[in-house]
Structure formats: C-alpha cells, structure tokens
Amino acid sequence: MYLLQDVFNLLPGLQQHDTHKAFITETNDSMLTMYLAGMSRSIIALHNLISNKIDLRQEEQKLAEKIIGGTEEVKKEKKEAKAKDKEEPKSK
C-alpha cells in the first residue's frame, strides 16, 4: 500500500497551470502528427489507385487495338489464301 502511495506522490501535479498546459500541448502535437500521417497515407493510396486505373485503361486499349488489328490481319490472310486457292485450280 505504501508503494502505491509513493507512485502517486511521484506523479506530477496537474493543478499547476504550466504542467497542465505542457501536457495539453504534447497531446495536441501527437494528435496532429497522427492526423497528418493518416492524411498522407490516404493521399498516397488514392494516387496509387488512380495510377493503377490509368495503367489498366491503357493496357486495355492496347489489347483492344491488338485484337482489332489482329482480326484485320487474319481477314487479309484469309483473302490471300482464298485468292491463292482460286489461282491454283486454274493453273492445273
């Protein structure tokens, strides 16, 4: 019991205005730091999300162009193959 009283006696007295103001200032600084850290993390996460979305959109456009271009090439190859097939029977 006496040890517990000693612990409480060693705590600073908050009745003094300077001590009370120092604790409030320290707490406010800590809260501001946590708030700014959270805001920074949120901004970085949003930036990464937007960047990822832009990259995916560009990749989809490239893939679509490749598919469209690929189908045109396939059509040309089929036409050329048909033309060759038509020419071969005539030459026999």
Which of 12, 32, 10 lies closest to 22 in space, CA to CA? Answer: 12
Whether 8 maps to a domain, the answer reads no
5 part of a folded domain? no
What pLDDT, on a 0 to 100 scale, did the predictor assign at position 30?
96
For the chain, how many helices (H) and strands (E)? 2, 0
Considering the domain boundaries, does residue 81 fall inside one?
Answer: yes
Q: Look at residue 14 in the predicted model and tell me its pLDDT.
A: 67
Residue at 2 is within a domain: no
In a domain, 45, yes or no: yes
Q: How many domains does the chain have?
A: 1
- Which residue range(s) make up the domain with 31? 17-91
Torsion of CA 68, 71, 75, 77, to 10 degrees: 120
The confidence score (pLDDT) of residue 89 equals 58
- Assigned domain for 79 exists: yes
- In order along its 92 residues, the chain shows pLDDT tens digits of 778 888 877 776 667 778 788 889 999 999 999 999 999 999 999 999 999 999 999 999 888 888 877 677 767 777 888 787 777 655 54
Q: What is residue 31's predicted lDDT score, i.e. its pLDDT?
A: 97
